[in-house]
Amino acid sequence: MLEALGNLLFGGSCFLCKGKAAALLCAACDADLPRLGPELCPRCALAAPAGAVCGRCLTQPPAYDATHAALAYAFPADVLVQQLKFHGELALAPLLGELLAARLFGNNVGYVVPVPLSAERLRSRGYNQALEIARHLARATGTRLAPDLCERTRDTPAQMELSLPERIRNVAGAFHCPRIIEGASIAVVDDIMTTGATLEELAATLKRAGAARVVNWVVARTLPTRV
């Protein structure tokens, strides 16, 4: 399927380097993707020795129960995410979904829920990139896609330039689950996880509505800057 999309939309050229390719990415660019290794904290998907729960998640357990991420948010993965998110390159959604789906064996959930956009942001952008990725993940895992299970109740400034405390305040009370989902196991899909503030607030909202387990499925994880 991806090979056919690559030939149809990009004329047999790689989306990143524009060299000859049978799919959206050539073999060299695919090999350059910053895939995450196995030694990650199962709660937040940051590096942790032997893949154990990290100290932060032990001392301050997040509302979500697990995080699965495919890539580090670094070149050239960041280019793919940004082109989908801000430039309408919707053909990248299946590619990013496929990369993430490869990390999800045995992760059974009842619903796949994309992080919702506000009505204002959706009108401005014209699509929800998390929903486009979630469509592929729902098909790949045979799980029910539930884009209306949770809603964003107000528009919020972009999180990108905010500090962690500002991010937490920015999304506080920004989501609402309009129905009881007692005992449900839910996967929340997003393109990028940075501080986790948005996913934390959404998980807390879903659990107040009765969800028993909430896991994050994210394409790219921002890693701490080394100094």
Nearest residue to 199 (alpha-carbon basis) of 216, 181, 174, 176 = 216
pLDDT of residue 42: 96
Cα-based torsion angle of the residue sequence 176, 117, 138, 99 in order, rounded to the nearest 10 degrees:
-130
pLDDT higher than threshold 90 for residue 66 = yes
Is 50 exceeded by the pLDDT of residue 1? Answer: no
User: Backbone phi, then psi, for 67, in 5-degree steps?
Assistant: -135, 130
Q: What integer pLDDT is reported at residue 169 of this predicted model?
A: 58
Structure tokens at 33: 């993707």
In which band, very low, low, confident or very high, does the pLDDT at 157 lie, cut at 50, 70 and 90? low
End-to-end CA distance of the chain: 42
Segments of 12-133 assigned E as strands = 66-72, 111-114
pLDDT digits (tens, 9 = 90+) for 7-63: 445 568 999 999 999 899 999 999 999 999 999 999 999 999 999 999 999 999 999
Q: Which pLDDT score, from 0 to 100, does residue 116 have?
A: 94
